[in-house]
A and B are shown apart, each in its own frame.
Chain A
Amino acid sequence: MVENRPWANFFAHLTLMIGVAVVVFPVYVALVASTQAPGDLLRGTLPMLPGAHGIENFTRMWQSGVSNAGAPPAGMMLWNSFVMAMAITVGKLSISLLSAFAIVYFRFRFRMFFFWLIFITLMLPVEVRIIPTFQVVADLNMLNSFAGLSIPLIASATATFLFRQFFMTIPEEMLEAARVDGAGPLKFFKDILMPLSVTNIAALFVIMFIYGWNQYLWPLLITTDPDYYTIVMGIQRMTSEENPQWHLIMAAVVMAALPPVLVILFMQRLFVKGLTETEK
């Protein structure tokens, strides 16, 4: 602080509190709405204080869902989201660790070609090439399966780049020492590279998990069987109904938002590290 200005400090805190309030407001409204009785949300305006039906709404959503709106129990959708997010995360991390290892620690023909092949994927978000990708997955009979939900999304140039950058900073002596001691490539990878990469892996894990959990368009297209609905897309099925049951929808919204928000809050340091490094 350069100078002491009590009024400036007061206004700074005021600005921040208003900012935090604006950021929190939508979620607060969702929480309040999820604790109301069914009729309370039809009576003109939304109450601003929590009601008494929270447990009831959450249990109903968790156990039975809104079946007439095509939304299975939230418990199951949350499980599907979790499986999909974990499959995408673990898949992305493992294939990119392996390919970064190959690119940094080996010399072989077409190395540059493969590097550019991977690099190109950075430029093609799934939304852009959605129809041909859907056709490929349909031809491979992967609709309505966890494989179809996760595998098309696991190729990631970002993670490969990050690991490549990181491997380049590992001292040459590590490899020399390992080779003098007679370690082969796989042993070096398992016993030296992996332990050194733990923090990077954890930071990317946080980012990728959130990415996987929040997938929307892809699950929406390739799942027609409610057994594979994920929570984020299931909510859309409920809101597109004629008379949306907002108290239950908002209970589902809270449940859908909670896991990734908790991940960020409890692993904030790793999250910030992952975010700033993947975007550089």
Chain B
Amino acid sequence: MQTKRMTFPGRFLPYALLAPQVIVTLIFFIWPAGQALYQSLLREDAFGLRTTFVGLENFARLFRDGAYLNSLSVTVVFAVGTTLLSMSVALLLASTVNRMIRSRSTYTTLLVWPYAIAPAIAGVLWWFIFNPSIGIVPYILDMVGYRWNHRTSGADAMTLVILAAAWKQISYNFLFFLAGLQSIPQSLIEAAAIDGASPMKRFWTIVFPLLTPTTFFLMVVNVVYAMFDTFGIIHATTQGGPAQATNTLVYKVYADGFVGLNLGSSAAQSVILMAIVVALTVVQFRFIERRVNY
């Protein structure tokens, strides 16, 4: 890794400058991560009196545990649903805004602010709209003959958390899609128009393929978001229920550790999650390198 050609001399100063960040990192990142790794190999008995070394037993148990496998599939459904919904709405809005000339910045402003809303608050907002007794949407659904109840129906609860998570992420995807669209040379689109391609055809054969790098990048970011940043949405609304229907992996780490007090299992889950984050980060970085050369 390069530095400047010319650098400052200094024997202690660089270490002093790095010290604050390195100390915080060691105490609050490296040490807890090491603890999670270590605890994932231990098991405490029911009273917390004796800890025994059990090797990879915690991991083996997890993959035999129906609740954990259920949580894995819940997470996949949730991440795919959130990513698809949020990205397709954002792409539709971004490509429409991109047609506008005078009103572009107004629409942009009106669409970006939900980024600022905390996931937990987004959850509460949608929870309120869909509240079975006083919410507006169940009232409308009731008129068409559907009885909405996210307290008893797992599918309803999943729909609710996906809506809340996707709603909050639209603004982010929108901004990146808009930036991607603006970097597509106008001449390509004009040439296709002269050849008689309709707007739909132009979009699918020229614009969409050229947006692929942005789309891939956003897919990774959205999956990471859905897996890790949506804890607040789940916790503030369904709390993983009904009957584990929205118990995502991140929520389960918390629930098993703090509520269930099963430290070994929770630590093993943490370790698996860390592995997933690392894998996703690697994918993201490798992909970005390619994006530069695009």
Contacts and interface: CB of A to CB of B under 8 A. Distances in A.
B127 A239 contact: yes
A61 interface: no
Interface stretch (A49-57, A67-75, A107-115, A197-205): A107-115
A249 interface: yes
Contacts of A168: 2, 4
16 contacts: A9-B99, A15-B92, A25-B129, A26-B122, A45-B134, A117-B25, A129-B29, A129-B32, A136-B32, A136-B35, A140-B27, A151-B28, A184-B8, A214-B119, A268-B112, A275-B115
A12 B99 contact: yes
Interface of A: 1-3, 5, 8-9, 12-13, 15-16, 19-20, 22-27, 29-30, 33, 41-42, 44-46, 48, 94-96, 98-99, 101-108, 111-112, 114-115, 117-118, 120-125, 127-133, 135-137, 140, 151-152, 154-155, 160, 168, 172, 175-176, 179, 184-185, 188, 210, 213-217, 220-221, 232-233, 235-236, 239, 246, 249-250, 253, 256-257, 260-261, 263-265, 268, 271-272, 275-276, 279-280
Contacts of B129: 25-26, 29
B157 interface: no
B28 A133 contact: yes
Contact of A121 (B29, B89, B221): B29
B277 A128 contact: yes
A105 B3 CA distance: 6
A244 to B, nearest CB: 9
B169 to A, nearest CB: 11
B254 A136 contact: no
Interface residues of B, number: 101
Interface of B: 1-8, 10-11, 13-15, 17-18, 20-22, 24-33, 35-36, 39, 89, 92-93, 96-97, 99-101, 103, 107-122, 124-129, 134-136, 139, 167, 170-172, 175-176, 179, 189-190, 193, 199, 202, 217, 221, 228-229, 231-232, 235-236, 250, 253-254, 257-258, 263, 266-267, 270, 273-274, 277-278, 281, 288
